[in-house]
Amino acid sequence: MSNNPSPLHTEFCGMTFNTPIVLLSGCVGFGEEYTRVNGFSNRDTGAVCLKGTTLEPRMGNAPHRVYETPDGMLNAIGLQNPGVDKVVSEILPTLDFSETRFIANVSGSSVEEYYEVTRRFDDSPIDAIEINISCPNVKEGGVAFGNDPAMSARVVETCRIATRKPLITKLSPNQTDIAGNAQGCIEAGSDAFSVINTLMGMAVDIESRVPVIGNNQGGLSGPAIKPVALLKVHQVYQVCREHNIPIIGQGGITTAEDALEFIIAGASTIGVGTALFYDPLVCKKINTGILDYLQRHDLPSIDRLVGTLQLHQSSPVRCGC
């Protein structure tokens, strides 16, 4: 990684990122998906979040697993991956850690599985670990860990015991009180947050009258969820700023303007995912736009912009009326 000072350099959990951009889990495989695209460089990113990894190999869900929607995409891949042992022993040695940071994404169907996968990544060169708590807890009837504050905190607490590396909790938007959940995760040992994971959605084939997605429902990503994601980042930031906890803001970011909105709302870094599928070189464009904004506003670095949102001084409205 370059030692030259740059306004785009971002501090995150004790690490220095080249830029504020994090390539999101599931969108770049295990770090190799875009290295063969002419013009793409990992140096344009701050970190790459690897595909969700479980203890044992998984084949994933039956097709269809991806479907394009207006301003977004549904996916229900089903955590297809080769298992943590293969990722650690065969995939991590092929990654160039001098270009960017690499973050593991841990998934599981039980607290014990989260612990074991996290423990194995702890004994590896990975830079940080993201916990995907949107997975269903099979021992509790399939309730997603991330939708229950007590379960969320328990997973974080267990993973905290298993690793000394920075621990990032990926929060689900499919819950009642995301800020309250974040508070519990901080108390359990989370060092940072990814905000947000996908919203749940569905698409229907009107001729056959069945869901298009083989899993019936899937995670909605892309520009369609950006307004929701922005609000959730703002809400979580109210808790995080008291503890100096950084946020990876994500959900529909396709331009520098999108990225800047998330940073102003409270994100220290920003995640790019769905946009990569139709513009693999979007990171360079976003970086250029952010740099231009900093120069125009005479800001020496991104951290001067984080959480600078000025709210209107009016009574809160609870609905869109």
pLDDT digits (tens, 9 = 90+) for 195-243: 999 999 999 999 999 999 999 999 999 999 999 999 999 999 999 999 9
CA separation for the pair 232, 269 (Å, rounded): 15
Give residue-wise pLDDT tens across range 285-311: 999 999 999 999 999 999 999 999 999
Sign of CA dihedral 286, 275, 146, 116: negative
Residue 40 lies in a domain: yes
Which pLDDT score is estimated for 144? 84
Long-range Cβ pairs for the range 74-77 (8 Å, 24+): 74/201, 74/202, 74/203, 74/212, 74/213, 74/218, 74/219, 74/220, 75/26, 75/198, 75/218, 75/219, 75/221, 76/213, 76/214, 76/215, 76/217, 76/218, 76/219, 77/26
Which pLDDT score is estimated for 37? 82
Residue 47 lies in a domain: yes
Structural domains counted in the chain? 1
> Is residue 135 annotated as a catalytic residue, yes or no?
yes
Name the pTM for this structure. Answer: 0.95
Q: Which residue has the higher pLDDT, 11 or 32?
A: 11
CA separation for the pair 266, 307 (Å, rounded): 4
Residue 214 lies in a domain: no
Residue range of the domain that includes 231: 10-59+79-201+219-304
Structure tokens belonging to residue 266: 């409270």
Residue 181 lies in a domain: yes
Which pLDDT score is estimated for 135? 81
Residue 44 lies in a domain: yes
Could you tell me whether strands 204-205 and 210-211 are parallel, antiparallel, or unpaired per DSSP bridges? antiparallel
Which pLDDT score is estimated for 51? 96
Sequence-distant (≥ 6) Cβ neighbours of residue 4 within 8 angstroms: none
Q: What does the chain come to in residues?
A: 321
Sequence-distant (≥ 6) Cβ neighbours of residue 12 within 8 angstroms: 46, 47, 166, 192, 246, 268, 269
Residue 192 lies in a domain: yes
CATH classification of the domain holding 54: 3.20.20.70
Residue 174 lies in a domain: yes
Residue 320 lies in a domain: no
Among the options 13, 49, 135, 159, which is catalytic? 135
